[in-house]
Structure 1
Amino acid sequence: MNTNGYDVPKPLLTRITKPLQRDGKAVETRFTYYENGRAMSQTNALGEGEFLDYDLFRRSTRVTDPRGGVRQYDYDENGRMTKLVEADGAILNFENQADAIRSAKVDALGYATRYSYRLDRAFTGTSDAYGNVTREQDALGRTIDYGYGPLDQVATVKDPRGTVTTTTFGTATSGCDHAGRPKETRISTLAGSGNVLLASQCWNGDATLAHRRQYLDGTRYVETRLSYTDNGLNVSQQQTVGMPSGATVTRTYTYDALGRKRTETLKRRTSPTNATLLDLTTRYDYDALDRVVKATDPLGNEVINSFDANGQLWKIAHRYKRPDGSFDVRDVATRTFDAADRVKTETDAAGHATTYAYDAAGNVVAVTDAEGHTARVEYDAMNRKAAVEDATGYRTETAYNQRGDAIALTNANTETVVFEFDALGRKTAAVDARGYRSEFQYDAAGNLVCTTDANAQAGLQPKNSHGCTEFRQYDELNRVTRIVDALGGETAFTYDLAGHRLAVTDAANKTWAFAYDDLGRLAAETDHAGKSLAYKADEAGNVYEKTNRLAEVTRYSFDTGNRLTRVDYLKDGSAETFAYDAAGNRSAAANGAVSYTFQYDVLNRPTAKLDSRGRSLSFTYDAAGNLLTKTTYQGSTTHYVYNAANRLVMLRNPDYTQVDYQYDPAGRMLSRVTANGARSTYQYEANGTLTRETQYDAANTLVSDTTYTRDRVGHILTRNDGAGTTTYAYDARYRLKTADYPGATNDEAFTYDAVGNRLTHTRGSLAPNANTRYYGYTAGTNRLLDIRIGGTGGTVESSFVHDHEGRLTSQTGAGAKALTWDAKGRLKTAGAESYTYDPMDYRIGRSGGSLGSRSYFLEGEHLESVERGGELVERYFRGAGTDELVAGFLKDGEGKTKPYLFHHDALTNTTAVTGHNGGTIQHIAYGAFGNVITNSGSSPNRLKYTGREDDGTGLYYYRARYYDPGRGRFISEDPLGFAAGDVNFYAYVGNNPVNYTDPSGEVAVVGMIYGGIAGGVGGAISGYASEGWSGAAKGFGTGFVVGAGVGAVTPWLSHQVGATAATLLVGGASSAAGQLSGNVVTGQTPGTNFSWGAVAGSATGNVLASVPAKLVGNAAATSVGTSVTWGSRSLTIVTPTVQHTGSTFRALTEGAIGGTFEAGGQAIENMLFPTPPAGDASSGSQTLQSFQQLSASQGAAGGFLLYPNKSNTNMMQSVYVK
């Protein structure tokens, strides 16, 4: 219990002391006063606090913050604030009406927002609307109008575009109506229809909600029905019912005598073939102060919160229940605190402590990891992060204008990106370190509608008819309905009322449609050819059955933790099984070809992978979580060495070699040097893109010297090497148009249709000639039909047949072969070759063909070694990046095993191989799409284009799919579907292979290792650990902006659907400076982008294990992640908050079951289950949700706050927020 002290004889509180001391000091807050009783200061036990002084007339108050900054508040004669001078000198002005209501605020840049409180919505005159805001006018003159219900609830909102959202309210208590409660919500126009009903509510006589309907269309809706405890205070049951079918999801709740939630239970079917409902129950225990001290999930696992006498959460323990009923107990976080009760140290389950230091204002100024590496943060006068300095002393700085917009980001090389903002604080331009400018425009609702990249802005690339590189149009609920690319190609989107995407119509007028069940869950997709996929989902949102377009059925089974345990393929009776350890890590995975056993340390990091074929891998980590050693299948150990910023600087394996990496201050790789002296060096532009790479062999003989020139968005225009200069040209969508190689023999030219299908390919010339090939496609699809010579009606050179799943099954003519696919949609045979895969869909074996039978052993996604008949024939030593080969031992044609070193270009193409004597024995040059155009010398190496394996069948294996370099496309559809960012599921990297690669076969990324991207490798590794390949791309992008050079605003494969890096930069680049340090491998973070992606192909339903299928063995993965799949959508699941007392409708309908819950201000795990947003009555338009919450729960009464940086209960909080 706290102890309070008072002034005597004045009854003024002078001290609050907490029970526990920290470092021998009392944790207390002290208050001092002037003689007249006015507050003078508030300080903590360290003497840090705020001091106040006043003028004699009470017209001005000065507040000195703990760091010495001064804020000054000025008031008029009636005590209304008129001006605020911030600590950085920014001046905010406020205007007030005669009736004491604020009528305008002017920000530090002079932009004014004005408010009307009158029924005529005039900005002059006193309020005649009971103090309610009736109109808000922004600095651009655009207005939002508000109307009110009987109890001052918001009843109408007219947005700047003229769209009106209306909620009606009950005027009497009768039937479903209750006086003052909302009845219906409608929108004045939506997708061409008027007065559209979006939601309705029905109330009980005691004013509790009986049910709420979220409409999917004019006839279907999701109804959430609520029952209550006997006292009517808490919800005892929530049924989500899809109408008219009646499909129901039931959740029940129990409470203790104090009204605190004790249990929440989801009723879920037992298995795909057993509809009997199981109770999946999460339990909560509380202490006397209503804090959650224990949460127990349906598996019996417990999270224990321990609070000290000061109320601080000092320990979080996980008790993982073993099959025998015992517990594996881990103290996952143990904290100590300073005298201000701020976290001083946090120790993980392995005993590794992270230490925090603070300035007087409580900002974290230093973080020291368990290895003793300290990253530092500096703040400006407004306590905004102004500089981040990693443990090596390299700084990233952020500058702000007086409104607080981040206007410049400077990396450790002093290279700066500058941002410009409009009157409303939206980014309107980004200027990279070379001075190249990209621009952004918005509609009246604030949606980004026009992106003009640096090439188009300078007149170097055409714009579409809207004057943009990409134009976007939105509906009345701010959902994208149309995207127009730089060539005028249009992609259209339609939605149901709840925001589910119904159709995507591409620029070639082909439509892919989606259908949902009455609970709003994806039930079917219909492809361009009219063939359908069907899905069935259980009550937890797990897809338990999928029927593909060949009518083949796959079933998925889940345990009570909603973790995938079995997949059954009814086509051939094959199956996959998965098991988990007590902590929820995937401990085993098996199919008919192989079984794996995985082991983990107390931090849930992979420590071993045991292969049923008699091989194993093992891993160790340092205290900071970096991968320290890896012991290979052959028993040799690779050691990893990091600098103080946790950036990899050395790899060493005595059986292979040693590799040293050197970086510039911004994290871009400067050199890679092997133990025998072979080296590569790299040079960059100010924007971080590679301009030169030079490679030498062990004898110091030049292997290659390549220079690049680039356009304003970073695309390679010329490549100059020992063979001469290659020149590249692109169309307005950055698809490769021509490749002019040295000499004319290998020159190439390409044309495409509106969605990226190749129409022509000319070789030996940049203009059509007799060698031009003409590509034809099956009507209404993107499936290649034939290739002809002499014109579209000319002689057929090759023809192609695909099955209904879009997979190539036959190729006749040139390159003829038959292909078959297994029940999971993986290539089974290609001509004489046969393939086998592990449960995570990585290829582990091949037989037949010229190479004979081979067994592949993988480290995560990377090929580690190859055996033939039990004999080791290949083993590899890999570097820091994806598909970066450093060295290997390969058996040559004479049966001799010899060592080799590999040399790469910006795309990780293997361009040269040096032998055991250090001399170069092979040079390889590639065409843009991967065809080999010159090959001098020889070696047994088969890992060539982008570091992938040349199969000898004319195909390259890209993990999720196979790529045909001769046709520049994949032979099957992208398993991620639209989530991969392209409407064409076959196109290889958006037809821009000069600048992008696709190591996963799913997502295009910028050349991962070089090309100015080395600084992003850590971010990519971190992202991969938690989110798979899409996470790698996102993590990599952040690393690129912060670590690799504040680069050009580069198109991120926009195509028709995907965003651009320029768009990403608008929302994210400036915030990237908030990262505490460079390439520190981190764990999964809140707001993770989970892919509810196609269950078809390599996806296997809702994989809810702690370790994703493709994580184990990832060279630098130090944390575990969760993968969730559904349909063909990609979205971010926002973690909701479960209220512990007085459960309300909002707490239940906003996804309360699943995610995390708060306990004493600290989030701890809720290991229950995720709720698919489509299955919840609260899903759908965020605009609608926000409006309904606004109208249902907040009035708009007048009044004003003394301090404008505090919250206000007024509906328009922004009126009084500075």
Structure 2
Amino acid sequence: MTFDAGGGLATQTDTLRINGRVFTSVFDRTQLKFTDTSPTGRTTTSFIDAQGRIVQQEIPNIFDTGFQYDARGRLTTVTQGTSPDDRQSTIAYNAAGFIGSITDPLGRAVQFEYDAVGRVTKQILPDLREINFTYDANGNVTSITPPGRPQHGFAYSAVNLETDYDPPNIGLPQHARQFAYNLDKQPTLITRPDGQTISFNYDAGGRLGSFVIPRGTISFGYDGVTGNLNTITAPGGEGLSFTYDGSLLLSTNWSGSISGFVSRAYDNNFRVTSRSVNGSHSISFAYDQDSLLTSAGSEMLTRDASNGLLTGTTLGNVTDSLSYNGFGEVSAYSVDANGTPAFSTDFTRDKLGRIIQKVETVQGVQHTYNYDYDPAGRLIEAKKDSVVTATYTYDSNSNRLNDGAVYDDQDRLVSTNTATYTYTDNGELLTKTEGGQTTTYNYDVLGNLISVQLPSGNLIEYVVDGRNRRIGKKVDRVLERAWLYKDSLNPIAELDGSGNVVSRFVYASRGNVPDYVIQGGVAYRIVSDHLGSPRLVIDTGTGAVVQTMDYDAWGNVLVDTNPGFQPFGFAGGLYDADTKLVRFGARDYDPQTGRWTSKDPIDFNGGDPNLFGYLQNDPINFVDPLGIFEFTEEELELLSLAAALPFIDGPLPIGDAGGLAIFGGVLAKKTIQEVSKVCLKQHGKKLIKGAYEFISQSGKRYTGSGKDVYRRLLEHLRSGKLKPKDIKSIKIHEVKGPKINRLKREQEIINKFGLKNLENKINAVRQK
């Protein structure tokens, strides 16, 4: 610290050292400025006002962001950039002090109405469609009414646990989904509208021991000393086992009809430094001092020295480069093979960052694409070289109306001009009949597509492991190909029907699709578009293009010159050329209809009032690798960064991550968002003030508050209270405003966390 002539604080420097890496935060009282510097010297600057509120954030080579407040200290305006190209969002408040409306940079406003106790009763969308909500006396949502649809009802137990979900009645004998719990508030039984059930059994320690579904039992085994999850056994004898170093996952082993193992190693910062498949096919990873990836196997990554944004990669004779606008969005992307241009894209974006024009050149052939959106943000027109190629219209709940589409009150697609559809009583696609030919689909109760009977007579079957990942495909009962995974979502290797490794996938610059694949000792660069859809696959030695793919706006494959060379398709999902479906995490996407084949497994928590809707009908700017909610390009980058942290790279037993592992073995969005915030701070991009709750796998809880929540997490890790692989969940509530108000709000949040299993009771209940 330094002091002025009057003895007041002039500057304060906080320094954090981790394995020789130095993070600093300098406060200059005269300028009311915080300067955070990462180990590599990347800086983020934040200015505050006299009340301690942040008024401006600066990141090198990115437009500054300004914040304005009203007389009561409430945030009213967020502005990035300078006029006329600035992007400004405004928040207005009603007489009771609640948010009345939020207006985006295009002037579109979302309005809110409230009841007497401040609960949202109506959300009015920019196009004036309405979503209505009702509540019980305890504040539980008892109904949600989507635009133009009957209400969806919810009922709860005396302790506020959901017992019934009652969708609109479409004439089914039983249309409600029901839940039962034990005295520890753990779910014991889920009864679906079709009568099928999921029953849960727990061991003496309260851990999930097994759950029973119609096709068999999924059981879990734990280490008697460490409590680590050791085994998962799925129906059909498909097994998973795990080995650890303490709580760090070292290997995942598959057994049953598909066998193999994936191993990993770490450095002293708990970053993954290598992964191997079946004891070979090893790929090493290196990072800079900010933990940003700099190499993945033979691929080198370069970044902006001032802000860390990826600027290019080199793999053999294939190089690519990225340019950004002042908002940090990709403005241009180009790929050269042997010095010859192979692929390039230039983007023009609107004030929301959405792509409105794309100029794309593929192997010397250039096309210009234009996109238009309605006030709800839905794609309504696509052009190619100034010629309209498609227009789209929607009903009140955003069901696409093209081709004479008809929907029921649960938003299930019933028919089009050329096809009819039927569903299970729970909402999974059961049959599709087109031109007198019927395709039959068989889903299990966890949302896994188990088999498809094609009109040709061919039977497609899928092998699913205990983490609900698709690990094998059979055609007419013969195993055709199989996959091993590096995490919950991403295949790391493809096997042939005999179990031999034929492809090794390497992830580097993207979170949802590999940068390259190794086959027969040859590295092939997978050139993907902004969504992660593979467009070219290039031999990095010769520069030869071995596969070309192209898609329409919704992901229908238009060109595929080498089907099956690699398994990835639209937006990086697993593409099946036989069914034409794309698997994303928890669900299957049908590009032909532009919608999911089943309801969102997390219901309305996905943020869409239409449970079958795909990306709220904007397939140009968003992706959904998990099958439950959309991601922007920037969020995908954060997911890629977070993959270097071991506690989202290991096994998640059922019940973790908000219980979402039941549906596709995926992380909850909240978990990913909070881990992403940790990554942001780790890379020197954001300082988070507020209250926190860290929960370990054993159930121990740590709560508190501070001006740098990320630092508090590191302190818990360094002290041994928490270990990276022991983290079950991270909850962070960012709190802004004057210090006295902020401390009061933080204490209120901490009090709501409660005292059960709390390890730091004195700190948590101390009155501030």
Q: Same fold (TM over 0.5)?
A: yes
Correspondence for 1:1084: 728
State whether residues 890 and 941 of structure 1, in contact with CA within 8 Å, keep that contact through their aligned partners in structure 2.
no
Q: Of 71, 75, 81, which aligns to 1:444? A: 71
Q: Aligned with 1:741: secondary structure? A: strand
Matched, 1:89 2:11: no
Q: How much has 1:835 moved relative to structure 2?
A: 4.0
- Distance of aligned partners of 1:615 and 1:861 in 2 relative to their CA distance in 1, 3 Å threshold: closer
Correspondence for 1:713: 327
Instruction: Tell me the percent identity.
Output: 18
Query: What is the correspondence of 1:182-193 to structure 2 with a 5 Å cutoff?
Result: none
Q: Aligned with 2:470: secondary structure? A: strand
- Distance of aligned partners of 1:819 and 1:811 in 2 relative to their CA distance in 1, 3 Å threshold: same
Q: Aligned with 2:727: secondary structure? A: coil
Q: Deviations over 1:589-625 (max 9, x none)?
A: 22213320011224443211011211210112212x2
Cα distance in 2 for partners of 1:669, 1:1014 equals: 10
- Distance of aligned partners of 1:712 and 1:1038 in 2 relative to their CA distance in 1, 3 Å threshold: same
Correspondence for 2:128: 509
Correspondence for 1:889: 495
Cα distance in 1 for partners of 2:37, 2:303 equals: 16
- Distance of aligned partners of 1:865 and 1:1068 in 2 relative to their CA distance in 1, 3 Å threshold: farther
Matched, 1:810 2:415: yes
Cα distance in 2 for partners of 1:390, 1:859 equals: 37
- Distance of aligned partners of 1:424 and 1:977 in 2 relative to their CA distance in 1, 3 Å threshold: farther
Correspondence for 2:391: 774
- Distance of aligned partners of 1:1011 and 1:511 in 2 relative to their CA distance in 1, 3 Å threshold: closer
Q: How much has 1:564 moved relative to structure 2?
A: 0.8
Cα distance in 2 for partners of 1:108, 1:1133 equals: 27
- Distance of aligned partners of 1:775 and 1:923 in 2 relative to their CA distance in 1, 3 Å threshold: same
Correspondence for 1:683: 302
Query: What is the correspondence of 1:81-480 to structure 2 with a 5 Å cutoff?
Result: 88-89=2-3, 386-391=14-19, 393-402=20-29, 407-434=34-61, 436-453=63-80, 457-459=81-83, 461=85, 463=87, 468=88, 470-480=89-99
- Distance of aligned partners of 1:459 and 1:1009 in 2 relative to their CA distance in 1, 3 Å threshold: closer
Correspondence for 2:261: 637
Q: How much has 1:1163 moved relative to structure 2?
A: 7.7
Matched, 1:692 2:293: no
- Distance of aligned partners of 1:859 and 1:419 in 2 relative to their CA distance in 1, 3 Å threshold: farther
Query: What is the correspondence of 1:884-963 to structure 2 with a 5 Å cutoff?
Result: 884-891=490-497, 899-902=502-505, 906=510, 908-909=512-513, 913-918=517-522, 920=539, 922-926=546-550, 930-932=555-557, 935-952=560-577, 953-963=579-589
State whether residues 907 and 997 of structure 1, in contact with CA within 8 Å, keep that contact through their aligned partners in structure 2.
no
Q: How much has 1:412 moved relative to structure 2?
A: 2.1
State whether residues 332 and 346 of structure 2, in contact with CA within 8 Å, keep that contact through their aligned partners in structure 1.
yes
- Distance of aligned partners of 1:401 and 1:811 in 2 relative to their CA distance in 1, 3 Å threshold: farther
Cα distance in 2 for partners of 1:446, 1:608 equals: 52
State whether residues 1013 and 1044 of structure 1, in contact with CA within 8 Å, keep that contact through their aligned partners in structure 2.
no
Q: Of 728, 731, 740, which aligns to 2:359? A: 740
Q: Deviations over 1:515-547 (max 9, x none)?
A: 123443322121211311111111011111221
Matched, 1:1040 2:647: no
Cα distance in 2 for partners of 1:707, 1:993 equals: 24
Report the AA paired with residue 447 of structure 1: R
State whether residues 1015 and 1039 of structure 1, in contact with CA within 8 Å, keep that contact through their aligned partners in structure 2.
no
Cα distance in 2 for partners of 1:406, 1:995 equals: 35
Correspondence for 2:381: 760
Query: What is the correspondence of 1:493-508 to structure 2 with a 5 Å cutoff?
Result: 493-508=112-127
Q: Deviations over 1:342-379 (max 9, x none)?
A: xxxxxxxxxxxxxxxxxxxxxxxxxxxxxxxxxxxxxx
Q: Deviations over 1:836-892 (max 9, x none)?
A: 445543444444367623132236354333455765432224346x6444331134x
Cα distance in 1 for partners of 2:620, 2:686 equals: 18
Correspondence for 1:297: none
Q: Deviations over 1:640-671 (max 9, x none)?
A: 21001111111123366212111111111122
Larger Rg: 1
State whether residues 254 and 260 of structure 2, in contact with CA within 8 Å, keep that contact through their aligned partners in structure 1.
yes
Correspondence for 2:762: 1161
Query: What is the correspondence of 1:719-738 to structure 2 with a 5 Å cutoff?
Result: 719-722=333-336, 723-738=342-357
Q: Deviations over 1:668-726 (max 9, x none)?
A: 112221xxxxx322222232222212334xxxxx3x42211111222111111142421
- Distance of aligned partners of 1:733 and 1:849 in 2 relative to their CA distance in 1, 3 Å threshold: farther
Unaligned runs of 5+ in 2: 337-341, 524-538, 540-544, 659-666, 689-704, 734-745
Correspondence for 2:695: none
State whether residues 969 and 988 of structure 1, in contact with CA within 8 Å, keep that contact through their aligned partners in structure 2.
yes
Cα distance in 2 for partners of 1:719, 1:967 equals: 30
Report the AA paired with residue 274 of structure 2: M
State whether residues 618 and 630 of structure 1, in contact with CA within 8 Å, keep that contact through their aligned partners in structure 2.
yes
- Distance of aligned partners of 1:900 and 1:667 in 2 relative to their CA distance in 1, 3 Å threshold: same
- Distance of aligned partners of 1:936 and 1:954 in 2 relative to their CA distance in 1, 3 Å threshold: closer
Correspondence for 1:783: 399
Cα distance in 2 for partners of 1:495, 1:426 equals: 27
Correspondence for 2:710: 1072
Q: Aligned with 1:499: secondary structure? A: coil
Report the AA paired with residue 890 of structure 1: D
Q: Of 763, 782, 801, which aligns to 2:406? A: 801
Cα distance in 1 for partners of 2:31, 2:283 equals: 44
Cα distance in 2 for partners of 1:828, 1:401 equals: 64
State whether residues 447 and 587 of structure 2, in contact with CA within 8 Å, keep that contact through their aligned partners in structure 1.
no
Correspondence for 1:1092: none
Cα distance in 1 for partners of 2:635, 2:85 equals: 28
Q: Aligned with 2:642: secondary structure? A: helix
* TM-score, normalization by structure 1: 0.51
Q: How much has 1:1044 moved relative to structure 2?
A: 4.4
State whether residues 438 and 451 of structure 1, in contact with CA within 8 Å, keep that contact through their aligned partners in structure 2.
yes
Cα distance in 2 for partners of 1:530, 1:1133 equals: 41
- Distance of aligned partners of 1:431 and 1:661 in 2 relative to their CA distance in 1, 3 Å threshold: same
Matched, 1:824 2:426: yes
State whether residues 440 and 451 of structure 1, in contact with CA within 8 Å, keep that contact through their aligned partners in structure 2.
yes
Cα distance in 2 for partners of 1:801, 1:932 equals: 24
Cα distance in 1 for partners of 2:153, 2:208 equals: 28
Q: Which has the higher contact order (CA 8 A, sep 6+)?
A: 1
Cα distance in 1 for partners of 2:178, 2:260 equals: 41
Cα distance in 2 for partners of 1:460, 1:1020 equals: 43
Report the AA paired with residue 429 of structure 2: L
State whether residues 1156 and 1163 of structure 1, in contact with CA within 8 Å, keep that contact through their aligned partners in structure 2.
no
Report the AA paired with residue 757 of structure 1: R
Cα distance in 2 for partners of 1:956, 1:810 equals: 21
* TM-score, normalization by structure 2: 0.78
Cα distance in 2 for partners of 1:733, 1:489 equals: 10
Q: How much has 1:746 moved relative to structure 2?
A: 4.8
Cα distance in 1 for partners of 2:294, 2:466 equals: 27
Matched, 1:841 2:447: yes
State whether residues 447 and 478 of structure 1, in contact with CA within 8 Å, keep that contact through their aligned partners in structure 2.
no
Q: Of 126, 140, 160, which aligns to 1:541? A: 160
Cα distance in 2 for partners of 1:671, 1:1010 equals: 19
Correspondence for 1:618: 241
State whether residues 884 and 908 of structure 1, in contact with CA within 8 Å, keep that contact through their aligned partners in structure 2.
yes
CA RMSD of aligned residues (A): 3.9
